[in-house]
Amino acid sequence: MHGVSAGYEPAHLLFQHVDLSMTGPKRVAIVGRNGIGKSTLLKLVSGELAPMAGQVVVGVSTAMIDQHVSFLNPAASILDNFRALNPEADEDNCRSILAGFLFRADAALQIVGTLSGRQMLRAGLVCRLGSLRPPELLILDEPTNHLDIDSIHAVEVALQAYDGAMLVVSHDETFLQNISTERTVRLDARGADEASARHDGKRVG
């Protein structure tokens, strides 16, 4: 991002003059107060929104997972969602990859709309990370909201095994530490600044 300003009305910008760069498989956390535009920033990177000013250039494949895992079709099964997002995978590939995320046999046939929050996020992760060509940049928007501690741990394990770049919004400092974020960028109305990367180990949010 270079000189990026964003909002939903030109007269009411959420933030202005944001510069942000990532090179290689780095893990960057975006922090800031509620309502400042952290989710909007992620949508700019994913291409879902266009900036009001400035330039956003992303030179790698991306995938975004929000807290509602909204890219999944709630009326379809986990297996059918995986097939739709990964059409190059054959039946054996699909079953093997889903089993690796604990969706074995009939569990892979569960309808997404009936899943718990923990299962939903796990389904989203397998559909994105289980691809034969995983995204080079994974974008995560508050992935641990509404999850219990055991579920958060399961997400952490899956993300620790991912070897691409990561841009993540979260208020949970322990989660950010456990997925090995290397940089912390604090967003405010005037722009974005590198914040302390130290995490105190206290789980919040």
What's the whole-model pTM score? Answer: 0.83
Query: For 35-90, how does the pLDDT look when each residue is reduced to its tens digit (9 = 90+)?
Result: 889 999 999 999 999 999 999 999 999 999 987 898 999 999 999 999 999 998 88
pLDDT tens for 88-146 read: 888 888 988 898 888 888 999 999 999 988 888 889 989 988 887 889 999 999 888 87
The full length of the chain comes to: 205
| C-alpha to C-alpha distance for 10 and 162, rounded to whole angstroms | 38
Backbone phi, then psi, for 88, in 5-degree steps?
-80, -15
Domain 26-50+60-181 has CATH 3.40.50.300: yes
| β-strand pairing of 62-66 with 137-141 | parallel
